[in-house]
Amino acid sequence: TGNNYDMVLLPALAYDDSLNGKYIHLRMEVENYSRSDLSIGVLPDTNNSDSFVSMATIHPTANNTIQEFFIQLSGYSGSANRLAIKASVTSGTRWFRINDFSLTNTPYPTNIRLNQPEVSSTEILWDRVFDSTHYDIWYTLIGSDEWVMVESDSCKVMLTNLLPDTTYKYVLQSRNGDMECVERMFSTPKYRNLPYCDNFDSYNQYACPDGWKRLSNSDSYPRVLNSYGINGTKALDFYGSTSPQIFVLPEFDVDSVQFLTLDCQIYSQGYYNYHGIIVGVMTDRNNINTFVPIDTLLHTRDYVYEKRSVSFNQYQGNGKNIALKYFYTNGRYYTTNIDNLVVKSCPNVIFSANDGN
């Protein structure tokens, strides 16, 4: 209530040094952020609320929204071991909700997030807090007690060799620091079935299609674009001088791409003989340096969709990731669109003639 305080006293903590310099992480939701503050500090005399010493104050910035806060305690050098949280409001009656509270000796990452999980890999990203530079990521299958640890000296890590259609859990910690108390989860998708068909009409403008992966120095290209598909619908859109521009197709459960074919229709919005698409295969769908060209889709004119087909029967490698790579020549870059893409298996037929004919 207005001009009054609610306080919660945490359990006694076992440590030999001061709370000064330690880190607190929490998630909080408030009813009215403009009239509400939260103080964290110590209560040397557990029978006297007036002995509270504030070491940090949190100021929410939104109503009815879970916000994440990471703070370092300071301003107290005593030996009291009773940490307290005190809420205050300037008027009316307001509520606070706190979740995922932790006290650590070292900071761990915040704003932890995933890029869209793929069949066999996913990328985890986070924001650096204070001076942390080295991290350990632990992950395991749901229901398993066998954890795998991956190290990172940056603010991201790629988990590979994952199983399809499987749920994992993971936690992060700063190197030689405290484990984060929150376990997060992600699920890998299933392999896509063949034949795979996509006219891209179900995706939003500028989106990356489901299961596809954009490898580019631009956050905008390649993409899905309205109005330039066949009959004025949506299509893939490659454009500009940004290089590389690669779209990696979804993952298929195949032993080899050698017996696959790719059919599509391509469209040029100008300078048709200066740009097009290279179809290739990648052993690592996250590494553009593994791209091996198979065939080139060229235009013969502008403003007309043209059918093209690519066979992978000459490919001798072990890559399983089909990819589309935009190219242009002589500085004449313009737009290439792709629509009605189909990937299908082509039977491996072996002919035998024992009669010499």
342: confidence class by pLDDT, cuts 50, 70, 90: very high
Report d(CA 282, CA 308) in Å as an integer: 21
Give 118-166 pLDDT, tens digit per residue: 998 999 998 876 666 788 899 999 989 899 999 988 889 999 999 999 9
Is residue 348 over pLDDT 70?
no
Average pLDDT, the chain: 86
d(CA 287, CA 291): 8
Percent of the chain surpassing pLDDT 90? 47
The whole-number pLDDT of residue 21 equals 80
What is the structure's pLDDT at 336? 95
Read off the pLDDT of residues 81-104 as tens digits, 9 standing for 90 and up.
788 998 887 777 778 888 888 887
pLDDT at 105: 75
The better pLDDT of the pair 68, 306 is held by 306
Confidence of residue 3 (pLDDT cuts 50, 70, 90): low
Q: Using a CB cutoff of 8 Å and minimum separation of 24, what contacts does 101-104 make?
A: 101/24, 101/25, 101/26, 102/24, 102/25, 102/26, 102/178, 102/180, 102/181, 103/13, 103/22, 103/23, 103/24, 104/22, 104/23, 104/24, 104/25, 104/177, 104/178
